[in-house]
Every structure is written in structure tokens, then in C-alpha cells.
Amino acid sequence: MRNIYPYLEKQKEDMYAYLEEIVTKESPSHDKELVDELGKWLAKTFEKLTGGTTTTIPEATYGDHIRGEWGSGESQILILGHFDTVWPKGTIKTMPFKMENGKAAGPGAFDMKGGIIQGLFALKALKELDIPMNKKVVFFFDSDEEIGNPSSRELIEKEAEKSDVVFVLEPGMSEKGSLKTSRKGVGIFNVEATGVPAHAGIDPDKGVSAIQELALQTLDIEAMNDFDTGTTFNVGKVTGGTGSNVIPEKASAEVDLRAKTQAAFDRAIETMLGLKPKLEGAALHVTGGANRAPLERTDQVVSLFTTAKQLAKTYIGMELTEQETGGGSDGNLTAPLAPTLDGLGAVGDGAHANHEHLILSEMPKRSALLAMLLAMYGGE
């Protein structure tokens, strides 16, 4: 264990060079051509740095996924990293990659290309230092996390079912780099109200407003927010009506649900799907449900974090902290299936924001931490 961090510290300039290369290769989620170009680069780079093998999993609509395999053994450890970003094509021209003042900035540098590079070098360290392992490591690179895993969800879940433990290379929380030991579940709903159309000037009393029905529902939904328990609802998008002189027949809203525990998540979903119309003559149709289950702070997750904290302190001299977040990730998909530790990627700030950046000096440290966790759980 003691030689892992010193080795990776000596590798940091190479890490920075690969970071620049991966960030410069843009990969917006809906641009299959660009995402596939980066996927090919990842497959080639994985094999070059780790000596492992890769399989490309083709997708017709979204980017192809890359499955890397390293080592051998009947059981496996799963590493997850998505290589799509929220940034549209051309962002690299207006927000170019740069390294200054100890930070690296660029579209996707923090979320989460820096974490991918750290993961690749963690496996490189295990290979070069000949660290004994009796479990294989599967490094799954998915291309569609930022848009809800429409094509990778089942693939990730199948890998999680076969895994003893899962490490997610999403960035840590802010510049503190806290690991994420709790993530809220995410629910997405569409609430559609149907009223009775009528002329707003001639027959206003004969109509039933779908917009009024939806407004009443919005007030009730927002009133269900419970910030103490962390169960929250947000009516985020509303559409409806055809003109100011028409009592609207149709209106709809998109609703976001977040909850910390599976029990609270299930109750909130039941409540949303059970909404009833308020106005006589109006109808209500609610669709949707769970998008990602909660990543709960279970005893297994606590044990993973405790091990990581001890490794970080003993071998890197780093005080590791933990935090919960309302955001979702690939870790939400694996949490019900295998013990999952999230936030092991880059340390920095500004995910999805113009000031997105990572702290360069943290890259070898976090890469070493992952390598040590792999050695710890893969050498049993």
C-alpha cells in the first residue's frame, strides 16, 4: 500500500496530459458521433495504460458504451464512470482547457473526466507495482448518464449484480472532496389536467379551466415539501392553453421528486400517482415514477467509507469527509444491488457551471485512494 501514492505522485504530469486530451475531446450526450469518438479513445487508452481488454457495446441512438476488464478472478469489483457531458458541441472554443493556479478547467473536467483519468491511473499503478489481486475489475464507461441512462441502465445493473462492491468516479463534493455516502432517489412525473373548453367572453361559465386545475395541483404538490426529512417536490415546467380568449382544455406539468430513503421514496411516489382533480368537471392523469432509487447510507456504505478514510489518513495523510447530496448518479442504480461508494473522482467545483474546475494536486491522491480500495477489496 505504501508505494502506491508515491508512484502516482510521480505520474501526475502524465495524468495532466491525459486530462487535457480527454477534456479537449468534446462529448455532449446527444451527439453520438462525438461521444463515440471519445469512446474509441477510452478503449484504446484503457488497454494502453492498464494492459486490460475492452469491449464496445454498440447503441443505435446514444453513444456506444465501453466495458473494460482488468485482472482475473471469479468475482469482480465494478468501477463506474460516464464520459458524456452536459456541454454542447463547440464549448471547448469558448471555455478552453487550461491549467493555472493549481487548477484545471474545461467542459467536463470536473464532471467527470478527471475521475476517469484517475481511475485509469489507479489500475496502471496496480499493474506496474504488481499489487496482488484475486478479483477482476470491470471498468464500465457509460455514454448517457447526464440524460438519465436510457441505454446503459440495464447494463450497469447487470454488472452490479455480479459485483462485490462498486466504486463510482463521480466528483467529490465541492473543493472539500467529500465522498458521497447518501444520494436521494429521483422521481419524474407528468401531471396532465383536462378541462372543458369554452369561449372566454361568451360562455366563460360553461368552461372548466385545465390551467386552474393544474394551478391548484401545483399548490398542493409544493405544499408536500418536507425539508426536515429531505423529501422534496418541484413543479419545474408548466405548459397549457391555446389563447387568452379560450378557457383552456389542456395543461400539464413536469414534477421532480427527491427522497433520502426507499420508504419515503415509495410513499411519495404513491402520493403523486394518487392525485385527484380539484375542480368539478376536470380530469387528471398522472404518469411517471422512479427514475433512480436512493443510495442510502447503509451499514455497508458506512463500512466502505470508514475503510477509505483509514486508508487516506494512513497512506496519504488526507482527512477524508463524507456528505449527502440530492443529485443522482450511476451509483443510485447500483446501490440496491451492491455496496456502493460514490464521489471517488475529481476534487474541485462547478459541475455543469462555467467555473467548472478540478484541483490538480488532488488527482494523484484520489487515484491512489481508489487503487488502495481496489487492492483492499480485491485482494481478499
For each of the domains in the chain, give its residue range(s) and CATH number, in order of start. 4-183+294-378 (3.40.630.10), 185-292 (3.30.70.360)
d(CA 43, CA 25): 14
Q: What is the pLDDT of residue 364?
A: 98
d(CA 8, CA 317): 15
pLDDT bucket at 134, cuts 50 / 70 / 90: very high
Which stretches of 106-169 are assigned E, i.e. beta strand? Answer: 136-142, 163-168
Looking at every residue in the chain, the average pLDDT score rounds to 97
Q: Note whether 79 and 52 are within 8 A (CB).
A: no
> What average pLDDT does the segment 150-179 reach?
96
Residue 155 has pLDDT above 80, yes or no: yes
pLDDT bucket at 137, cuts 50 / 70 / 90: very high
> What average pLDDT does the segment 318-338 reach?
95
Amino acid at 140: F
How distant, in Å, are the alpha carbons of 176, 249, 289, 369 from that of 125? 25, 63, 42, 11
Work out the percent of the chain whose per-residue pLDDT is above 70: 100
The shares of helix, strand and coil residues in the chain, as percent rounded to the nearest 5, are 40, 30, 35
> What average pLDDT does the segment 302-316 reach?
98
pLDDT bucket at 174, cuts 50 / 70 / 90: confident
pLDDT digits (tens, 9 = 90+) for 52-80: 999 999 999 999 999 999 999 999 999 99
Which stretches of 53-95 are assigned E, i.e. beta strand? Answer: 53-57, 65-70, 76-82
pLDDT digits (tens, 9 = 90+) for 104-130: 999 999 999 999 999 999 999 999 999
Segment among 50-59, 233-242, 305-314, 371-380 with least mean pLDDT: 371-380
Residue 380 has pLDDT above 70, yes or no: no
d(CA 107, CA 90): 10
pLDDT digits (tens, 9 = 90+) for 257-285: 999 999 999 999 999 999 999 999 999 99
d(CA 88, CA 26): 8
Show the cell assigned to 4: 502506491
Give me the residue label for grid cell 450497469. 156
What would the 3-class secondary structure string for 296-359 be? Answer: CCCHHHHHHHHHHHHHHHHHHCCCCCEEEECCCCHHHHHCCCCCEEECCCCCEECCCCCCCEEE
Q: What is the pLDDT of residue 1?
A: 85
Q: What is the pLDDT of residue 267?
A: 97
Q: What is the pLDDT of residue 379?
A: 83
Q: Note whether 240 and 218 are within 8 A (CB).
A: no
Q: Note whether 232 and 326 are within 8 A (CB).
A: yes
> What average pLDDT does the segment 7-17 reach?
98
d(CA 143, CA 123): 21
pLDDT bucket at 21, cuts 50 / 70 / 90: very high
pLDDT digits (tens, 9 = 90+) for 88-111: 999 999 999 999 999 999 999 999
Ramachandran category for residue 372: left, alpha or beta (phi over 0 → left; psi -120 to 50 → alpha): alpha
Q: What is the pLDDT of residue 154?
A: 97
Show the cell assigned to 102: 493549481
d(CA 27, CA 142): 12
d(CA 373, CA 129): 15
The reported pTM is 0.92
Q: Note whether 292 and 146 are within 8 A (CB).
A: no
Q: Note whether 59 and 65 are within 8 A (CB).
A: yes
d(CA 369, CA 321): 13
CA torsion 306-309-314-316 (nearest 10°) is: 160
